[in-house]
Amino acid sequence: MGIRLLKIAMAKIVAGLALFYALQNMMNLDAAYGAFTYVMSMTDVSVYGNSFGPAITSPTLVWLAVILIVGAEFLAGILAAHGAWDMWKARKGSDAEFAASKTRAILGAGVGVVVWFGFFGVVGGAYFQMWQTELGSSSLSGAFQYAVTCAVALIYLSMKDE
């Protein structure tokens, strides 16, 4: 029972992380848009000043990126929270029932990895070179921490319950 409760707690941690960041972004939508505009325009990128692809300056494309990120954060949080609830309901069930109940929590953690490692690490860090600016570097560093949290949760939740 102890391992099951720890896995439920881990799903709740992922849910809280994703939902809190999604809500913080919603409460600061103009600031989020400004940060995305700055990063996607590749302003102040000078260390590796040449890029194989273009900067993005279209307000529509920037808003689409903001909506994609915030939407994916909400999705990760909702999936993980729903998964935690499913796991809670199945905590006294059979091994097969509990294993099946982890599906949404695993998906939530996986979406979190996609958001913070894929979108921020790969697209933001590698394509938009956000590591070259103070704002971008801070965002990238935070995203790495959240990606690792979600990845650890993903691995732990995916493990067989013994």
Q: What is the pLDDT of residues 81-134, one digit of tens each?
A: 999 999 999 999 999 999 999 999 999 999 999 999 999 999 999 999 999 999
Please give the pLDDT value at position 66.
98
pLDDT value at residue 48 = 87
pTM for the full predicted model? 0.94
The pLDDT of residue 162 is above 80:
no
Structure tokens at 11: 């799903």
Task: Look at the alpha carbons of 83, 142, 147, 149 in this order and tell me if their dihedral is positive or negative.
Answer: negative
User: Residue 8: CB partners within 8 Å, gap ≥ 6?
Assistant: 84, 87, 88, 91
- Produce one character per residue of 24-58: b if its CB has 16 or more CB atoms within 10 Å, e if not: ebeeeeeebbebbbbbbebeebeeeeeeeeeebee
Are 59 and 114 in contact, with CB atoms under 8 Å apart? no
Residue 161: what pLDDT? Answer: 83
CA distance 63 to 44: 21
